Amino acid sequence: MKPAFFITGTDTNVGKTEAACMLARSFREAGLKVGVMKPVETGCRLLGEKMIPKDALRLKEASGTLADLDLVNPYRFTAPVAPDLAARLFGASIDLERVKDIFIGLQAAHDLMLVEGAGGLLAPAAEGKSMADLALLLGAPLLIVSANRLGTINHTLLTVSCARQMGLAVKGIILNNPVDSSNDLSAEHNRSDIERLSGVPVLFEIPWSPAMASAPILKKEEIEKLLAI
């Protein structure tokens, strides 16, 4: 079985795209052919008549995949809301089976797949289905991105608990620092508290970096650890 990871987060805007791009670049540098998907992207800007799926474009670039953008991102909408509502407002619907078929095709053409969800784990992905249902359908274990700030313990434990209840494997947590946390006392303790209380390893932290273009890539040992879990 080829490795696949479903990158979810404790919320929207916590750093899922940053983490997924960092992973994509790291695996690519390690010589792997990296496939990526952002199955549904909402809040797309319009350039003329064309919708611009920002996350999908970043993932595509970071991974170096030659796959068509319409496969990386089969559904896109302008409304800045959860996927199911964005589709309904547009008079459309999202077919998760179609997403799965595309995923299987991309998986066959790459060594490893990274899929970025939208919002958090229970965000509505399609009619009556959540992002968790999509991860289950794809058979991809989770990487949970959490923002290292006050409140993250609750958000992270809720996400882990929901994943376990739904029978989803959680491979690890990525602790991102999307803001300068030097004045946040919790930020020094969140990593160890999350590991102790959830029993899930924090795989790595992403430092706060106002110029994210220079985000570090993972070391060889970290990549090997991720592929072995």
Binding site for ligand ADP (CB under 6 A): 9, 12-18, 176-178, 206, 208-210, 212
Q: Exposure of 117 by Cβ count < 10 A (0-12 exposed, 13-18 middle, 19+ buried)?
A: buried
Measured CA to CA, the distance from residue 34 to residue 47 in angstroms comes to 28
Measured from the CB atom, the residue of 30 and 215 that comes closer to Mg ion is 215
Measured CA to CA, the distance from residue 177 to residue 179 in angstroms comes to 5
Please choose which of Mg ion, ligand ADP, none residue 202 contacts, taking the beta carbon within 5 to 8 angstroms, the exact cut-off set by kind: none
Measured CA to CA, the distance from residue 146 to residue 191 in angstroms comes to 10
Please choose which of Mg ion, ligand ADP, none residue 159 contacts, taking the beta carbon within 5 to 8 angstroms, the exact cut-off set by kind: none
Residue 181 · residue 187 · CB < 8 Å: yes
Q: Exposure of 214 by Cβ count < 10 A (0-12 exposed, 13-18 middle, 19+ buried)?
A: exposed
Q: State the nearest-atom distance from the C-beta of 215 to Mg ion, in Å.
A: 14
Q: State the nearest-atom distance from the C-beta of 187 to ligand ADP, in Å.
A: 12
Measured CA to CA, the distance from residue 85 to residue 98 in angstroms comes to 18
The answer to whether residue 50 is catalytic is no
Measured from the CB atom, the residue of 16 and 110 that comes closer to Mg ion is 16
Q: State the nearest-atom distance from the C-beta of 55 to ligand ADP, in Å.
A: 6
User: Which one of 16-24, 102-110, 191-199, 214-222 is the stretch in contact with Mg ion (CB under 5 A)?
Assistant: 16-24
Q: Is 76 one of the binding residues for Mg ion (CB under 5 A)?
A: no
Instruction: Give me the catalytic one of 38, 50, 60, 129.
Output: 38
Q: Exposure of 165 by Cβ count < 10 A (0-12 exposed, 13-18 middle, 19+ buried)?
A: exposed
Q: Is 41 one of the binding residues for Mg ion (CB under 5 A)?
A: no
Please choose which of ligand ADP, Mg ion, none residue 208 contacts, taking the beta carbon within 5 to 8 angstroms, the exact cut-off set by kind: ligand ADP
**Residue found under tokens 């706060």:** 208
Catalytic residue ranges: 38
Residues engaged in binding Mg ion (CB under 5 A): 16-17, 55
